[in-house]
Amino acid sequence: MYNISVELKERWVKVVRDRGLMDQYTAYVAYNDKQDIVWIEKDQKGSLNLKKESANPEMTDGNSC
């Protein structure tokens, strides 16, 4: 039987042992009168460059989008 509490504890122990892991994540908190929410996202590193080309330039030339 799967127990998420066990998995969360194992992950927390790993973070406590390696404090550098904390630098890789950002924690967010949102709350109101109905509920409190906490979530963690891994900070992404890197970049991406895109080049837009048209298969039909006669139709798309001059299109600013």
Is 9 part of a structural domain of the chain? yes
φ, ψ at 36 (rounded to 5°): -115, 135
Q: Is the pLDDT of residue 1 over 70?
A: no
Is 20 part of a structural domain of the chain? yes
Q: Is the pLDDT of residue 22 over 80?
A: no
Predicted TM-score (pTM) of the model is 0.39
Is 60 part of a structural domain of the chain? no
Tokens of 19: 């404090």
Q: CB–CB of 40/22 below 8 Å?
A: no
**Span 4-33, mean pLDDT?**
83
Q: Is the pLDDT of residue 65 over 80?
A: no
Is 65 part of a structural domain of the chain? no
Is 29 part of a structural domain of the chain? yes
Is 47 part of a structural domain of the chain? no
Q: CB–CB of 22/16 below 8 Å?
A: no
Domains in the chain: how many in total? 1
Residue 20 to residues 7, 25, 31: CA-CA distances in angstroms? 20, 10, 28
Is 64 part of a structural domain of the chain? no
**Given pLDDT bands bounded at 50, 70 and 90, which one contains residue 30?**
very high
Residue with tokens 């194992």: 10
Q: Which domain holds residue 26?
A: 4-41
**Span 27-53, mean pLDDT?**
89
